[in-house]
Amino acid sequence: MKKYLYMFIATLALASTALAVDSQIWGEMRIQNILGYGQEESLKLGPLFTMLQHQYFAWIFLGVLIGVPGAFFLHYKIIGPKVFPHSEKKYYAFNLYNRIIHQIAAISFIVIVPTGFVIVFGDFFGGGMFVRFCKNLHGLFTIPFTIVVIPMALMWLKEALFNLDDVKWFMILGGYLSKEKKPILAGKFNAGQKMWYWVAILGGITMILSGAFMFFLDFKMEMLHNVTGMSQIDMLRAAAIIHNVMGFAVVALFITHIYMSMFAIKGAVQSIITGYVEEEEVKILHSTWYKKLKDQGKF
Amino acid sequence: MNSETQRALSTTVGRRSFLKMAAIAGAFGATSSFAGENVTRAATEEEVKNPFPGSKKVKTICTSCSVGCGVIAEVQNGVWVRQEVAQDHPISLGGHCCKGADMIDMVRSEVRLKYPMVKENGQWKRLSWDDALNRIANKLKELKSKDGADAVQFLGSAKMSNEQAYYFRKFAAFFGTNNTDHQARI
Amino acid sequence: MEYARMKFYCDEHRCIECDGCSVACAEAHELPVGIARRKVITINEGIPGKEFSTSIACMHCTDAPCEQVCPVDCFYIREDGIVLHDKEKCIGCGYCLYACPFGAPQFPREGIFGAKGAMDKCTMCAGGPLETNSEKERHLYGQNRIAEGKVPVCAAMCSTKALLVGDSESVSAIIRARVSSRAKGASNPLVWDKAYKNQ
Amino acid sequence: MTNSLGDIQKSKAIIIFGANPAVNHPVGFQHFLKAQELNNSKLIVIDPRFTKTAAKADLYAQIRPGTDIPFMYGMLNIIFKNGWEDKEYVDARVFGMDKIREEAAKWTPEVVADVTGVPADTLIQITTLYAKNRPGTLIWAMGLTQHTIGTSNTRMAPILQLALGNMGRAGGGTNILRGHDNVQGATDMGCLADSLPGYYGLAAGSWKYFAKSWGVDYDYLVKQFKDASWMEKNGFSLARWWAGVQNVKSDEKIENAGTPLKALLVFGNGITSVAQQAKIKEGLDNLDMLVLADPFVNEAAILTDKKDNVFILPAATQFETSGLVVATNRSAQWRYKVVEPMYESKPDQEIMFELAKRLGFYDQYTKGMLMQETKDGKLETIPGKTNFTWPEDATNEIARIIKTIGLTGWTAERVKKHTDNWHMFDEVSGAGMGPMKGEFYGLPWPCWTKTHGGSPNLYDTSIPVSEGGMGFRNNFGLEKDGVNLLAEKGSFPKGSKIETGYPEITKENIEKVLGITLSEEEKAACGANWKVDNSGILVQKCMEAGVCPYGNAKARAIVWNFPDHIPMHREPLHSPRTDLVAKYPAYPDKANHFRVMTKYISVQSAQDYAKEFPINMVTGRLVTMNGAGIENRASKYIAALTPEMFCHIHPDLALKHGIKNGTMMWVHSPEGTKIKVKAKYSYSVLPDMVFMPFHFAGYFQGTDRTGNFPAGTKPYASGESVNTVTNYGYDIITQIPETKGGLCRIEKA
């Protein structure tokens, strides 16, 4: 973690020392960039980005923003939430460390995602001060997430590895499409949560990196340039495309995550606040884990 | 080659296209609304007006090199506010290299020497002009009487005007030495 | 009313990298040091037959990609083709730079951790959306020489008249005349196809 | 410059030796480019470095520094062999070309290739192209002059032009690109150690003429000097004044009126950009008093360790005063004052006047501005005039006195009129239009009378004297060794009454030469010769007869009063070709050369420099700066373009020494000095050469001295001065330093 922090600080330092006019974008590579723009042999990232950003990104985001909650709204209305009785028996599943890490990430996301939407629909908000402020928040709140993303990845890695249960889970979509309360095969995390874990961790890191590229714009990345063979401006274009595309997935699953914890399973959110999970909830939704805990005599 | 082409070649963005452009800009000024799509915007209603009211234009010559490019300085209330284009100067035709284009910045530079100074005991000290000139003149007088005028060396400048250069040479002559020179030697 | 299209063109046969244009620009608009709306670039320096220099800034493209990608729609295109933007709207996201074929948009560093400020680029000396020749317009966008009926300062001060600006017809005529007299055969002006689709 | 920048557009071929107008005169270079476009003119560049100018050239030769004479003899060899010379022209207008022919015969393309490093084929190609495209103009700058043989170089180039008949033609001539904005004018004004204004020299007669013109007694001036003999001796030059300072360690004998130098007054002169910085520093350190007047802090003030009596005076920039400036083509422009002097700064003349008042010679010093010529050839104080107007009265004083180069027509009023109406002149010919018809822009000298329109092209006989025509000057007698020095029959400025050569016009010979009779009044009024004739009658009569006052003579290819009668190749003092030194040795050491013994052969033969210092070092200008660079380094936008000192080095050479692009390197000179600079890879230099710009100062031999700047005056960019490591060596006539041919050793820092 320390190492990562150092890297982050080093990146910051590097970025602030790099003079804009010296960078490849405005300097030596400029002519090549111009001549290569849209050429058959090039990656055509410039026109690609222009086309995507001009015609698709905002619409897709709008689709995600309306579509995903809309689907859940229907789900809520038709199937309804799962309600588990509050029993005496609780299991202490998330220790303080887990919870702090999670909460930091949660707060970051709660700021990053809406501000991201403000940027995407900047024209709707009329640009200027407000959008610029959101853009800065968007960047600022990446910092806490950046700090916790690795610890978070490590602390839940074991539980987040996929196994056979997940195949079955996916076949019935976690049982969320039925009102029945019958035990569903799943470990501490079900396949849906695992999916979110991987999107949040890998996707999150991708978002951090591509975001940092765009934020710092002109830092010198000789090594990356040597590996990818891409010019700096093309790396930036790629970063912008990745940031947006990955954004669809992260946003969609983020909304799902919120829906699940807040609405679909009543009271589920309590577990990450207090650290205790309800026996009934575990029994039904994480039956494999329940069996294991039972064997260990935890309940 | 006919004379028409000759002229087109020799003047590049010549007076004709210059005027044409002025005409275009004028047309904008006169048109109040620009029915455009959402990307265009109605131009602000305004006339071709001077952004520096009451300014005057001074013709002068660049001090960077011997080409002798024309400089037009726009001066408002005694402040050089803008460097204009000496489009019709017969040598430079409005052209400037980076030095010439930056003459105004040289004059207005913040790191100019602002008042006379003397180094005493290794420290810089501010002086009045009177003090500075008196001290220099006294030393010169002393040297001239004790060691002769040839104990002093004068180095003038190729950046001086003719009159200054001439009077610099004359100064050395009246002081009594030929120890005077300037950059033509390098 | 038929409007002319304003275009830039840098004749690389004449450009000698004197940096007159970029300094004239910086000086005229009193740009912060480190922002170069116009920049001169030499490639293959020192290699006989291959060295050439050219001056680059915003080319004021016909279908300006920057305008297409801006998330806050801060760009607008004048009837004469000059592409301008509203700095008070701009959020400094950098998208215009990714879309630009010419690397024209630049971002001053300001705020925490060097966050990018509002984008800055060549205005073809036409100012911005604020009141023409107002103090604020000059502060944000620099001089509005077009409103005064003057040529953009970079081209006007180009030492060898390599950099041309004006309505497309006049510029084309000059280039054609130069190219034909150089007896090197007509060639498409460098980068014009990108900026103007040869219109 | 014999012609003008615009005139270059008329050239069919342009050959450039040791000049880089694309960088040093960018705006002037547009005329070169237009010549290529309009006139299909061929641009040929000969330079040790592939410069920006070379990038636009049709032909380019990468020459070894200091071997221009062999190259030009090589060209002449080919020209003579093929009979391409302009025989008629040479016979009528040139003296001594046969001696040149003899020498040229020795320089076959193969010999030239060996000495210059330019392949024989390239030489032949260049010569053919240049000889076949006439008129051709020959351009040079510091690349030719800054050598021990600089004077020979600058004689060789006109000889080449004379052989081809290119001198005195529109589109031809030798066009020397001057450096600073008024270096031509300041030189004309005699701001020199070896002449009074107007190239009158230092002879007693000249002093007497000036004493009279200034309105003082000759004896008064003599009294200011140690004695009359010291009036006629060259002073210390800018290049070597430091040798004369007290306590400076040197084995070179000084002859300075029995005293060492104790005080130095510098007005606007970047002495941190002169060769031998280490010695200059020693000189500065040992002065009793150092006075530096400059708009910015002259970096001599921070270079020196002197602790007391260093005065820095804020001089106004040239935009805060007004006056006449002379462009490279000898034309005058009026530099109007833009703003009042900023801060407490004062224009140079005010500082001089204030000092003159305190030294007690103000009245005598400024009296010239109150005087005028009378019709009867006398001088008088203008009745009722007690105050002068600066600078107009000074301009008119100059116009009144300087006749040698024909400044008579340069009155303040006329020059201002030209600048005010600059739009009324043609770009190419400089000819006036409309109200300015009949005059050339800036009245390029010689501008013989108050109505003469100036002479755009020197030595052009195809136009009348009244329109700027003239032959070559008669300055060295009528004959030499039985050969006529005057132009031959048939060679004369168009419309001349005399259709042959004639001597310069004197009171004595005017009646005979022009075939006229002067009235008694005229005779009484006019001076001894046209140069000192206050009445102007001699020049007037010449104009009427279409005759040039300075005569109509032959150009000299042989200069019998110089050490080398014809230009001879001599290796640089620090030559990389030790094997050639014996064959082309330097001059013998010269005693009392501008008051100091100056070494040549003793330095050259002291050791085999090339062994330890194998790398050629050339210096030059950057487009962003001029001179010592302080005024540009103090401008923020310019400083941002070239923020630090660097060294152009070929990657092959750099990597041999383990120097990476952008890392620091040391450059050592044979004198034991060194500088630390940033390596910048460049293919513009050969792998046996480095190039460094000379505009930086503020660092000295690796130490940062910018802490010495008074608060708030430090420029935005500082760096090592390359002149800390440029080698010893001075021209035999002018004492210009040999900075364009030297050696160095490099290492990784």
At residue C182, does pLDDT exceed 80?
Answer: no
Which residues of chain D make contact with B132, given a CB cutoff of 8 A?
311, 313
At residue A9, does pLDDT exceed 70?
Answer: no
Neighbours of B85 (CB within 10 A): 26
C-alpha C176/C-alpha A137 separation (Å) is: 52
Within 179-198 of C, beta carbons closer than 8 Å to D belong to: 181-183
- Could you write out the three-class secondary structure of B98-143? HHHHCHHHHHCCCCCCCCCEEEECCEEEECCHHHHHHHHHHHHHHH
Question: Which residues, including other chains, have CB under 8 Å from residue C199's CB and lie 6 or more apart?
Answer: C5, C62, C168
Instruction: Tally the domains of chain D.
Output: 2
Is B112:D713 a contact under the CB 8 Å cutoff? yes
At residue C192, does pLDDT exceed 70?
Answer: no
Q: Where does chain B hold its CATH 2.20.25.90 domain(s)?
A: 51-112
pLDDT confidence of residue C113: 62
**Is C1 contained in some domain?**
no
Nearest to D643 by CA among D690, D693, D711: D693
Interchain CB distance below 8 Å, D33 and C183: no
Within 654-683 of D, beta carbons closer than 8 Å to C belong to: 682-683
Which residues of chain D make contact with B164, given a CB cutoff of 8 A?
321, 323, 347-349, 352, 391
pLDDT in tens, D293-303: 999 999 999 99
C-alpha A196/C-alpha C143 separation (Å) is: 53
**Is D744 contained in some domain?**
yes
pLDDT confidence of residue C115: 72
**Is D455 contained in some domain?**
no
Query: What's the one-letter identity of residue D398?
Result: I
Interchain CB distance below 8 Å, C68 and A217: no
Task: Please report the DSSP string for A157-183 in residue order.
Answer: HHHHS--HHHHHHHHTGGGTTS-----
Nearest to D276 by CA among D575, D700, D733, D717: D700
**Residue C75 structural domain:** 6-196
D640 CB near a chain C CB, below 8 Å? yes
How confident is the prediction for chain D on average, in pLDDT? Answer: 94
Instruction: Tally the domains of chain C.
Output: 1
Is D296:D634 a contact under the CB 8 Å cutoff? yes
Is C124:C102 a contact under the CB 8 Å cutoff? no
Which chain D residue has the Cα nearest residue B120? Answer: D308
| pLDDT > 90 in chain C, percent | 46
Measure in Å the smallest separation between the Cα of C158 and chain B Cα atoms. 5
Is D610:D577 a contact under the CB 8 Å cutoff? yes
Structure tokens at B63: 């001090």
C-alpha C18/C-alpha D26 separation (Å) is: 6
pLDDT confidence of residue B15: 33
By Cβ distance, the residue of B1, B50, B95 closest to C20 is B95
**Is C147 contained in some domain?**
yes
**Is C160 contained in some domain?**
yes
**Residue D696 structural domain:** 609-748
Better-scored residue on pLDDT, D236 or A212:
D236
**Is D533 contained in some domain?**
no
pLDDT confidence of residue C116: 78
Length of chain D: 749
C-alpha D458/C-alpha D447 separation (Å) is: 11
Query: What's the one-letter identity of residue D95?
Result: F
Chains that touch B (3 or more CB pairs under 8 A): C, D
Alpha helices (H) in chain A, listed in sequence order: 2-17, 30-36, 45-55, 57-78, 96-120, 122-125, 128-140, 142-160, 164-171, 191-198, 204-216, 222-228, 232-259, 268-274, 279-285, 287-295
Q: Which of D156, D176, D196 is the last residue of a domain?
A: D176
Nearest to D32 by CA among C177, C53, B18, B67: B67
Neighbours of D591 (CB within 10 A): 11
pLDDT confidence of residue B66: 93
Distance of CA C8 to the CA centre of its chain: 7
C-alpha D403/C-alpha D539 separation (Å) is: 9
Would you identify the CATH topology of the domain B51-112?
A: N-terminal domain of TfIIb (2.20.25)
Interchain CB distance below 8 Å, D637 and C26: yes
All residue ranges of chain B with pLDDT < 70 are: 1-49
Within 49-68 of D, beta carbons closer than 8 Å to C belong to: 50, 52-56, 60
By Cβ distance, the residue of B24, B51, B105 closest to C4 is B24
Is D255:D595 a contact under the CB 8 Å cutoff? yes
Which CATH number is D38's domain given?
A: 3.40.228.10
**Eight-state DSSP code of residue A262:** I
All residue ranges of chain D with pLDDT < 70 are: none
C-alpha B7/C-alpha B16 separation (Å) is: 10
Interchain CB distance below 8 Å, D333 and B97: no
Which residues of chain B make contact with C170, given a CB cutoff of 8 A?
13, 16-17, 20-21
Which residues of chain C make contact with D641, given a CB cutoff of 8 A?
19, 22-23
Interchain CB distance below 8 Å, C46 and D685: yes
pLDDT in tens, C82-129: 999 999 999 989 999 999 999 899 888 765 566 778 999 999 999 999
In which band, very low, low, confident or very high, does the pLDDT at A23 lie, cut at 50, 70 and 90? low
B28 CB near a chain D CB, below 8 Å? no
Structure tokens at B29: 């000024």
Burial status of residue D73 (CB atoms within 10 A of its CB: 0-12, 13-18, 19 or more): buried
pLDDT in tens, C6-40: 889 999 889 999 999 999 999 999 998 888 899 99
CB-based touch B/D (3+ pairs, under 8 A) = yes
Interchain CB distance below 8 Å, C166 and B46: no
Scan for tokens 């010999």, then name that residue: D111
C64 CB near a chain A CB, below 8 Å? no
Would you identify the CATH topology of the domain A95-299?
A: Fumarate Reductase Cytochrome B subunit (1.20.950)
Structure tokens at D90: 């040479």
Mutual angle of helices D68-82 and D97-106, in 10-degree steps? 100
| pLDDT > 70 in chain A, percent | 89
pLDDT in tens, D484-506: 999 999 999 999 999 999 999 99
Question: What average pLDDT does the segment A86-103 reach?
Answer: 84
At residue A221, does pLDDT exceed 70?
Answer: no
pLDDT confidence of residue B63: 93
ipTM of this predicted complex?
0.90
Rounded to two decimals, the pTM is 0.89
Which chain C residue has the Cα nearest residue B52? Answer: C133
Is D8:D31 a contact under the CB 8 Å cutoff? yes
Residue D155: CA atoms inside 13 Å, Cβ hemisphere, count?
23
pLDDT in tens, C125-147: 999 998 888 888 889 999 999 88
Question: What average pLDDT does the segment C73-80 reach?
Answer: 91
Q: Which of A55-59, A82-86, A129-133, A234-238 has the lowest mean pLDDT?
A: A82-86
By Cβ distance, the residue of B140, B141, B162 closest to D326 is B162
Is A157:A113 a contact under the CB 8 Å cutoff? no
Measure in Å the smallest separation between the Cα of D642 and chain C Cα atoms. 11
Which CATH number is C46's domain given?
A: 3.30.70.20
How confident is the prediction for chain B on average, in pLDDT? Answer: 79
Alpha carbon distances (Å) from B76 to B55, B79, B108: 4, 5, 14
D22 CB near a chain C CB, below 8 Å? yes
pLDDT confidence of residue A297: 75
